[in-house]
């Protein structure tokens, strides 16, 4: 086999900032060049091999070898190649130990770690410039003996002849065979430019200062066979193929085993799952199980058994059961979560009877996709669940999946700009223009605006490099909550490394890699609303004794839907944003499934696909509901012929465009990643032509494709929406029937949601709930409920609202208070051990009113308190009474905002009303009485500014005055014209036109005025969303 | 900007004192921080003229007419500190992040704040103000104080003086807030509050000061926010508080400041002096053309320079001599040396070398010696001479002195050191370096190992004739010994290369370094000769 070659030493860009080609590119090029094999040997990493593995199948590479490069502490470099499954496991284990022993992102390879000799691995010793193995490194030869080669890497540095001769001598001396290899860093020579750039970034230097840390040439690419034949003696090339032939391992051999401790003795997973399900059924339907449910469960169990997914359901069940035992609220979602089995197991609280869903919609035999269950837990207690998993399975068997952080336009620009010597300011100017990056180029005018010449050589280099760099992996981070749990130690499957958080470890693969290899993961996520709901339940129980759970909140309460239809949803889950609030009165949800749609429809996908208005029209009967075909009707009937959910789009691809279920599944994956990796191109053509062939209108096809694009990273499936809708309903029910408890729980769970504490408190006040201020003798740390004279719930603000007071100090105040409370400020110091600063913030919050009078007096009093001196324990000092002014109402309001972010006094705008009247500003309350399309002036505090990516540059501003909120729409051109006002104003005046549509009121702005100066010292932070 | 107080040693902290005595304590004068200039405690009527330059960071940084904002890093974010009129009109306001400012005005010129430039601008102003008063004081990074009681008569009264100063400031491009008061702090606070007040007696002073808001006091943030939280917003409010309670809460320092501002306590200040350069003349009774005599005079001048620099612990890198003639313009002679020095003998040695070449068109009537910018001199530790070797022996070998003497003889532009550059491209791998600029940096930081480079590199590669693709040298075919060494690099400037280098030998046995471009493999170039 003369002249054949296998590359045994190649780094992909998963050797971060060294390798300059994607694994896929390396594999494709090696296959095209006719290599016998290609080894991906990223430095102490397996992160890129799954991609290489699937690319090898796609491009028909003869053999993919899996290995890793290591630098020993002594500076020696070796490359280890896995010969078989066992060798792969020992390699993974070595990577795990060396990475776990070092800080995140680095590794330490000591001689001891190699003492086991890496069984079933072949090893290349890569000599350095001396071409000799020092005496002290002879242990390398001893350790690997018959599995060691000297790698001869001739890279045109002018000393090739010398190198070859010296290594041949060394080989004879040490009795080691020689083999050719290429130290490959890129798939093609042109990437040397990017490789140089990466090197400079890695060293944190500019390119023209990088000097000799750069490689002198671009020889480290996959060289054509004829070039290699010119460079290497034939026997060295032949040796590569001999090594490749000795290797017999593919990632397909990996098999994943579920943990087996989930099943008790004497049971099989199948029997145990059935047992648990039947128990659950009896619990769920104590009065007798409906025949329909029994059938459904039987059907699902058969399907699960067929696919052998029982252990997966049992794994999730175990985690959920733990959470329940700890009173941690949780809710499953995802394709398998809304099954009757999951309902019986308690993984979800969504009664399958409440919505007609077939489990095949979620688990399908043909699609061969693993079941997907994400479980949301209370965000503040998720850590307990994670620690439980670690404790139960051990760190060897449970780990979080990684997320590969890749270069985005802005980060790429920042790094490239720096290495080309641009100043920080120039870079930050340019990075603003990256908003206009369309994947290829930035509009020249934007570069000009940043004060740079788009045609200058530097800018051309910059843009070239940025374009090349985008999508390159930069580092591994931890996935939000994707756990992999295995029966055998994970390091035999994939290396584990340290995450940035202490006590966290991640595996070197990300979610897609796991899916590719069919490994199962469970997403353990945190959700703030669950915390708020659990707290509401607790508060209600403690206040009135009524016990609620997610399942036992009365279903389908018309009062709740009335509230939702009125758009009165501030603070509830999901449907509280402005866009949602505006949609609710039009969509008029009246049942649970309407909420499922409501959750999914106000998302980039349906908005971009222009699905919202057709759905609205059809729902209101303004447009006939029709279907292009019966097949489509089957898919779209439940949403009136308008595709809203991700699943529907997938199904449409199958029934209308002729995709196989497998293709539809890869479309789904491409959809989730296209923004990051690019590449929906092939699917567009196939989808549109497929639909055209089957007689669908071009317009319909294009619409579906636009929606697919819109789903992008925000793809929202029905299976998730269904679970979310339950939380929407429960939170709405709480807001409707227990507003005090609900708001109290929300305040205690901040920060979360769209609205600030101030807005939540005003909202609950408008709903007739009394709110009491922070009080040193009555407040708990958390906000709490008190009863008024009639026994009605009153919301008492907690010490947590006081800015600058630590929880520890707050808790001490509460525990040391005793039954009599505090009578003097001095006691706070003596009993609760507060320091001067903490006393100060308490005084400024007004919490000391009962002890020391108004804020000014309280502040004077506490600032004079001192720790009693041991020698003079009770020195009663005479103090002259200061002449302090009483705070004015304005001062009180300002101080309230500064200290607690809200006021229980009059609204600040109320105080300014007289001034505002001069400009003829109307209040929020007056607006409904004014006719549509009338000219109008309004003013208020700016509380949110939102510029959604889907709204073509429109900014939505929410103003607040003493009577409520005013929604203002600022068109793009006006926003440009009044940039300063829009950006800076905290009190904004708007002249414009009123737009009333049913209960939805908008002011279309024509002119903006900044009245911030009227506010004086009042600081109100607007919440800005993009 | 809040400023940290120099923590005063107050008696309260020093030791536990009986309560009765404590009551009286705040009224005691703590040890003054600065030694008072005026020793006499008797009331001398002084008048302080304060110039507050709120826009100094901008005025010192401004480079163009375009809308400009000065930015400063605060907690890792570049934030706008000051803006000019144009930027303000576009909505750029202090406190915005640089990015937000750019969002408002993409053409905005952003300048980073430079305390050094501000200091220089302030010193330049102080220098100019010395025209108006013998007592100028840089009181803060943006505040200048003049004591003007003594200057009033000279400048024709207060209004006249004030007009002169304010016009001058405007001409210098500064936007200032001016105030006049009998105490320096009073004047400063008035200026900071933007009151164009002119107060000559202390009774009025108290009345006016009472109305000033707290933020013009520049007290630490903590104290100000505490006071505000008590509803205390003006100096008058402060003065209404019980003194003892005030001092207990905020320390003695603010109270002392109040007393100083009101004139109850003395407030000594340091006077500012412009930095000096040496300049001395030697005038002769009659014209002189004897070169040895002239050199002697120069020597005397150098000795007095040495004395001048020695007493100030300074040195200088450059000197200039001017030889004046009765007719015609003076002959100039400049000297430079690699390190700041003050030793007369060394300067004389350099002067001798240059003086030999100096052509004096006429006899000399006077000589002037001026020093360049002076700088603090790093004293060298003297060697202890244990072995009795002649010190001069080592001196002779000093490369620095050799270089200085060469420069003195053949000129700065002709003497260089070589410096290696870490760079793959051979023609960029070294560069000449001026000797006078910075002697220390010319050390070799990184030596490339295992690399063959010819000792003699041609300034430009020379095209070699070729015979059917093989290079010829002086008509003879070349034999390639080693290679290729492939160099593909330098894409980041306009001089990227992509070449294969070879070592070749000609029939005469001379080894050559040749290359061909990868894009044009038939053309061979000669780049150097190995030794």
Cα–Cα distances in Å, from A358 out to A191, A300, A593? 51, 9, 14
Q: How far apart are CA A770 and CA A781, in angstroms?
A: 19
Q: How far apart are CA A10 and CA A182, in angstroms?
A: 7
Residue A714 has a pLDDT of 57
- With a cut of 90, say whether residue A514 has pLDDT above it: no
Residue contact B245–A429, C-beta within 8 A: no
Neighbouring C-beta atoms of residue A226, cutoff 10 Å: 9
Tell me which of B96-105, B332-341, B393-402 is least confident. B393-402
Neighbouring C-beta atoms of residue B2, cutoff 10 Å: 12
Among the partner-chain residues B106, B485, B487, the one whose CB lies closest to the CB of A449 is B106
Average pLDDT over every residue of A845-861: 86
Pairing of strands B479-489, B476-477: unpaired
Tell me which of A191-205, A619-633, B357-371 is least confident. A619-633
Q: At what angle do helices A409-419 and A192-203 cross, to 10 degrees?
A: 80
The number of angstroms, rounded, from the C-alpha of A352 to the middle of its chain's C-alpha atoms is 29
Contact list, A420 vs chain B (CB under 8 Å): 492
Pairing of strands B416-420, B331-341: unpaired
Tell me which of A134-148, A534-548, B345-359 is least confident. A134-148
Among the partner-chain residues A129, A189, A875, the one whose CB lies closest to the CB of B449 is A129
Task: Tell me, yes or no, if B422 comes closer than 8 A to chain A by beta carbon.
Answer: yes
Residue B11 has a pLDDT of 32
Cα angle: A382, vertex A383, A389; to 5 degrees: 95
Average pLDDT over every residue of B337-346: 79
Residue B202 has a pLDDT of 79
How close A350 gets to chain B, by Cα (Å)? 46
Under the banding of pLDDT at 50, 70 and 90, the label for residue B3 is: very low
Residue B195 has a pLDDT of 82
Residue that wins the pLDDT comparison between A32 and B268: A32
Local structure of residue B105 (DSSP, 8 states): -
- With a cut of 90, say whether residue A193 has pLDDT above it: yes
Residue B20 has a pLDDT of 38
- With a cut of 80, say whether residue B238 has pLDDT above it: yes
CB B309 within 8 A of CB B377: yes
Tell me which of A748-752, B300-304, B413-417, B506-510 is least confident. B413-417
Which residues 194-223 in chain B show a CB within 8 A of chain A? none
Q: How far apart are CA A663 and CA A656, in angstroms?
A: 13
Contact list, B482 vs chain A (CB under 8 Å): 158-159, 161-162
Contact list, A979 vs chain B (CB under 8 Å): 91, 103-104
Residue that wins the pLDDT comparison between A258 and A309: A309
Of all residues in chain A, the percent with pLDDT exceeding 90 is: 32
Tell me which of A34-43, A174-183, B125-134 is least confident. B125-134
Residue contact B229–A859, C-beta within 8 A: yes
Under the banding of pLDDT at 50, 70 and 90, the label for residue A601 is: confident
Task: Tell me, yes or no, if B19 comes closer than 8 A to chain A by beta carbon.
Answer: yes
Whether residue B103 has a cis bond before it, omega within 30° of 0? no
Q: How far apart are CA A649 and CA A664, in angstroms?
A: 9
Which chain A residue shows the shortest CA-CA distance from B89?
Answer: A980
Joined together, the tokens standing for residue B237 give 């409010």
Neighbouring C-beta atoms of residue B14, cutoff 10 Å: 8
Q: Among all chains, which residue has been given the structure tokens 């600065």?
A: B34
Question: Whose CA is closest to B51, among B139, B171, B156?
Answer: B139
Residue that wins the pLDDT comparison between A796 and B86: A796
Among the partner-chain residues A211, A461, A866, the one whose CB lies closest to the CB of B422 is A211
Under the banding of pLDDT at 50, 70 and 90, the label for residue A437 is: low
Selected residue of A156, A421, A464, A1008 to mutate for chain B interface (largest B Cβ count, 10 A): A156
Residue A320 has a pLDDT of 93
Contact list, B98 vs chain A (CB under 8 Å): 425, 428
Under the banding of pLDDT at 50, 70 and 90, the label for residue B526 is: very high
Neighbouring C-beta atoms of residue A274, cutoff 10 Å: 19
Q: What is the DSSP string of A848-884?
A: THHHH-SHHHHHHHHHT--PPPSSSTT-----PPP--
Neighbouring C-beta atoms of residue B296, cutoff 10 Å: 12
Tens digits of residue pLDDT in A741-756: 999 999 999 888 888 8
Q: How far apart are CA B82 and CA A918, in angstroms?
A: 33
Residue contact A882–B240, C-beta within 8 A: yes
CB A527 within 8 A of CB A552: no
Output the CA torsion B311→B314→B320→B323 (10° steps): 0
Among the partner-chain residues B19, B423, B452, the one whose CB lies closest to the CB of A211 is B423
Output the CA torsion A948→A951→A953→A957 (10° steps): -60
- With a cut of 70, say whether residue A874 has pLDDT above it: no
Cα angle: A91, vertex A95, A101; to 5 degrees: 145
Tell me which of A4-18, A273-287, A518-532, A680-694 is least confident. A680-694
Tens digits of residue pLDDT in A694-716: 888 888 888 777 777 766 655 57
Residue that wins the pLDDT comparison between B33 and A79: A79
The mean pLDDT of chain A is 85
Looking at B231-349, which runs of residues are DSSP E strands?
Answer: 279-288, 314-324, 331-341
Kind and range of the H or E run holding A76: none
Q: How far apart are CA A316 and CA A324, in angstroms?
A: 12
Residue B119 has a pLDDT of 86
Tens digits of residue pLDDT in B150-178: 888 888 888 888 888 999 988 888 888 99
Tell me which of A67-71, A354-358, A458-462, A605-609 is least confident. A354-358
Tens digits of residue pLDDT in A331-352: 988 777 778 888 899 888 887 7
């Amino acid at each position: 086999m003369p002249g054949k070659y296998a590359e045994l030493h190649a780094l992909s860009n998963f050797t971060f900032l060294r390798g300059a080609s994607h694994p896929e590119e390396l594999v494709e090029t090696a296959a095209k060049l006719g290599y016998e094999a290609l080894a991906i040997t990223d430095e102490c990493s397996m992160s890129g091999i799954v991609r290489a593995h699937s690319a090898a199948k796609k491009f028909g590479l003869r053999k993919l070898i899996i290995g890793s490069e290591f630098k020993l502490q002594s500076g020696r470099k070796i490359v280890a190649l896995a010969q078989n499954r066992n060798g792969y496991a020992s390699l993974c284990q070595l990577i795990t130990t060396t990475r776990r022993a070092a800080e995140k992102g680095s590794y330490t390879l000591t001689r001891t770690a190699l003492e086991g000799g890496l069984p079933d691995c072949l090893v290349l010793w890569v000599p350095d410039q001396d071409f000799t193995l020092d005496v002290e490194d002879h242990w390398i030869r001893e350790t690997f003996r018959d599995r060691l080669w000297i790698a001869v890497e001739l890279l045109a540095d002018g000393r090739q002849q010398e190198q070859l001769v010296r290594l041949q001598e060394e080989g004879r001396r040490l009795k080691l065979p020689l083999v050719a290899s290429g130290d490959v860093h890129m798939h093609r020579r042109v990437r040397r430019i990017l490789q140089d750039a990466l090197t400079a970034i890695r060293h944190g230097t500019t390119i023209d200062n990088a000097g000799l840390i750069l490689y002198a040439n671009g020889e480290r690419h996959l060289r054509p066979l004829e070039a290699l034949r010119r460079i290497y003696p034939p026997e060295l090339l032949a040796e590569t193929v001999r090594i490749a032939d000795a290797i017999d391992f593919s990632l397909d051999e990996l098999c994943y085993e579920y943990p087996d401790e989930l099943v008790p003795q004497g049971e099989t997973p199948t029997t145990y799952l059935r047992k648990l399900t039947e128990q659950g059924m009896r619990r769920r339907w104590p009065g007798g199980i409906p025949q329909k449910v029994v059938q459904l469960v039987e059907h699902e169990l058969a399907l699960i058994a067929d696919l052998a997914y029982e252990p997966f359901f049992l794994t999730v069940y175990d985690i959920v059961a733990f959470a329940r035992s700890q009173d941690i609220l949780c809710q499953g979602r995802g394709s398998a979560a809304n099954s009757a089995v999951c309902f019986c197991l308690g993984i979800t609280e969504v009664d399958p009877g409440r919505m007609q869903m077939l489990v095949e919609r979620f688990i399908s035999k043909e699609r061969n996709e693993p079941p997907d269950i994400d479980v949301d837990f209370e965000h503040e207690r998720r850590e307990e669940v994670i620690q439980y998993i670690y404790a139960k399975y051990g760190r060897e068997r449970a780990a979080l999946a990684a997320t590969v952080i890749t270069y985005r336009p802005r980060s790429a620009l920042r790094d490239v700009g720096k290495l080309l010597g641009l100043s920080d300011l120039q870079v930050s100017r340019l990075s603003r223009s990256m908003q206009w990056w369309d994947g290829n180029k930035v509009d020249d005018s934007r570069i000009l605006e940043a004060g740079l010449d788009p045609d200058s050589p530097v800018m051309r280099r910059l843009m070239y490099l940025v374009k090349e760099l985008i999508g390159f992996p930069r580092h591994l981070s931890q996935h939000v909550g994707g756990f992999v749990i295995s029966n055998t130690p994970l390091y035999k499957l994939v290396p584990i490394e340290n995450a940035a958080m202490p006590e966290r470890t991640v595996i070197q693969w990300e979610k897609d890699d796991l899916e590719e290899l069919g490994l199962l993961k469970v997403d353990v996520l945190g959700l703030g609303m669950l915390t708020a709901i659990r707290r509401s339940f607790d508060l209600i129980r403690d206040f009135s004794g009524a016990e609620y759970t997610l399942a036992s909140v009365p279903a389908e309460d018309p009062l709740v839907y009335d509230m939702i239809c009125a758009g009165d949803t501030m603070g509830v889950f999901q449907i509280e944003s402005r866009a949602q609030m505006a949609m609710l009165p039009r969509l008029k949800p009246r049942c649970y499934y309407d909420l499922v749609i409501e959750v999914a429809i106000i998302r980039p996908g349906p908005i971009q696909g222009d699905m919202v208005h057709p759905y609205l029209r059809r729902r209101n009967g303004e447009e006939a509901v029709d279907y292009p075909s019966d097949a489509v009707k089957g898919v779209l009937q439940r949403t009136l012929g308008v595709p809203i959910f991700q699943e529907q789009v997938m199904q449409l691809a199958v029934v209308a465009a002729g995709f196989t279920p497998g293709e539809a599944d890869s479309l789904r994956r491409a959809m989730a990643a296209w923004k990051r990796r690019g590449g929906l191109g092939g699917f567009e053509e196939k989808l549109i032509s497929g639909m055209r062939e089957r007689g669908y209108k071009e317009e319909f096809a294009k619409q579906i494709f636009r929606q697919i694009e819109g789903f992008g990273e925000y793809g929202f499936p029905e299976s998730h929406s269904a679970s979310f809708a339950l939380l929407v309903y429960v939170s709405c029910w709480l807001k409707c029937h227990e507003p005090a408890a609900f708001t109290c729980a929300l305040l205690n769970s901040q920060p979360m949601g769209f609205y600030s504490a101030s807005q939540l408190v005003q909202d609950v006040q408008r709903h007739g709930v009394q709110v009491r201020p922070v009080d040193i003798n009555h407040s708990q740390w958390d906000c709490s409920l008190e009863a008024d004279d009639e026994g009605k719930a009153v919301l008492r603000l907690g010490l947590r609202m006081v800015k600058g007071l630590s929880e520890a100090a707050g808790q001490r105040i509460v525990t040391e208070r005793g039954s009599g409370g505090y009578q003097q400020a001095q006691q706070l110091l003596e009993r609760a051990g507060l320091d001067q600063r903490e006393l100060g913030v308490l005084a400024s919050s007004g919490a000391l009113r009962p002890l020391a009078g108004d804020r000014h007096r309280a502040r004077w009093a506490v600032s004079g308190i001192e720790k009693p001196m041991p020698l003079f324990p009770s020195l009663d000092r005479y103090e002259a009474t200061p002449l302090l002014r009483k705070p004015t109402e304005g001062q009180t309001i300002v101080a309230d905002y500064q200290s607690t972010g809200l006021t229980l006094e009059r609204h600040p705008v109320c105080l300014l009303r007289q001034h505002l009247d001069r400009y003829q500003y109307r209040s929020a309350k007056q607006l409904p009485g004014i006719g549509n399309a009338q000219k109008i002036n309004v003013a208020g505090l700016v509380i949110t500014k939102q510029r959604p990516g889907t709204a073509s540059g429109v900014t939505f501003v929410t103003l607040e005055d003493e009577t409520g909120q005013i929604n203002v729409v600022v068109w793009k051109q006006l926003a440009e014209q009044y940039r300063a006002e829009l950006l800076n104003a905290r009190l904004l005046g708007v002249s414009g036109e009123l737009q009333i549509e049913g209960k939805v009121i908008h002011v279309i702005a024509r002119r903006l005025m900044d009245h911030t100066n009227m506010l004086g010292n009042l600081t109100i932070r607007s919440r800005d969303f993009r | 900007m809040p400023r940290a107080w120099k923590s005063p040693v107050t008696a309260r902290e020093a030791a536990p004192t009986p309560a009765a005595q404590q009551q009286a304590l705040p009224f005691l004068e703590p040890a003054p921080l600065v030694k008072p200039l005026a020793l006499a405690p008797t009331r001398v009527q002084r008048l302080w003229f304060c110039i507050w330059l709120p826009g100094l960071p901008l005025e010192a940084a401004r480079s163009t007419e375009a809308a400009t904002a000065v930015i400063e890093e605060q907690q890792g974010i570049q934030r706008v500190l000051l803006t000019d009129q144009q930027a303000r009109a576009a909505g750029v306001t202090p406190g915005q992040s640089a990015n937000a400012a750019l969002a408002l005005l993409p053409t905005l010129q952003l300048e980073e704040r430079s305390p050094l430039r501000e200091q220089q601008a302030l010193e330049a102003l102080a220098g100019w103000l010395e025209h108006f008063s013998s007592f100028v004081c840089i009181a803060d990074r943006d505040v200048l104080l003049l004591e003007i009681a003594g200057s009033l008569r000279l400048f024709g009264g207060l209004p006249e003086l004030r007009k002169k100063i304010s016009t001058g400031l405007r001409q210098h491009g500064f936007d200032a807030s001016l105030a006049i008061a009998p105490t320096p702090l009073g004047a400063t606070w008035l200026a900071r509050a933007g009151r164009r007040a002119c107060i000559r007696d202390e009774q009025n002073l108290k009345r006016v000061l009472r109305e000033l808001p707290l933020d013009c006091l520049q007290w630490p943030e903590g104290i100000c926010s505490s006071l505000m939280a008590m509803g205390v917003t003006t100096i008058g409010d402060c003065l209404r508080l019980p003194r003892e309670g005030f001092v207990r809460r905020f320390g003695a320092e603010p109270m002392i400041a109040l007393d100083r501002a009101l004139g109850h306590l003395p407030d000594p200040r340091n006077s500012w002096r412009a930095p000096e350069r040496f300049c001395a003349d030697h005038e002769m009774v009659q014209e002189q053309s004897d070169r040895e005599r002239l050199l002697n005079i120069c020597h005397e001048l150098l000795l007095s320079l040495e004395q001048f620099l020695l007493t100030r612990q300074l040195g200088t890198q450059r000197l200039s001599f001017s030889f004046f003639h009765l007719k015609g313009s003076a002959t100039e002679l400049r000297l430079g040396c690699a390190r700041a020095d003050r030793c007369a003998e060394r300067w004389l040695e350099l002067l001798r070398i240059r003086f030999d070449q100096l052509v004096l068109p006429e006899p000399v009537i006077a000589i002037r010696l001026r020093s360049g910018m002076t700088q603090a001199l790093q004293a060298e530790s003297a060697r202890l001479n244990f072995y009795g070797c002649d010190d001069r022996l080592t001196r002779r070998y000093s490369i620095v002195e050799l270089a200085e003497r060469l420069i003195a003889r053949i000129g700065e532009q002709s003497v260089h050191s070589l410096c290696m550059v870490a760079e793959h491209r051979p023609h960029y791998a070294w560069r000449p370096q001026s000797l006078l600029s910075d002697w220390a940096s010319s050390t070799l930081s990184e030596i490339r190992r295992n690399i063959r480079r010819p000792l003699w590199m041609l300034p430009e590669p020379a095209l070699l004739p070729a015979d059917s693709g093989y290079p010829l040298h002086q008509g003879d075919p070349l034999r390639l010994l080693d290679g290729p060494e492939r160099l593909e690099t330098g894409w980041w400037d306009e001089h990227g290369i992509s070449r294969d280098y070879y070592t070749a030998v000609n029939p005469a046995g001379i080894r050559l370094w040749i290359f061909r471009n990868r894009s044009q493999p038939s053309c061979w170039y000669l780049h150097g000769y190995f030794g």
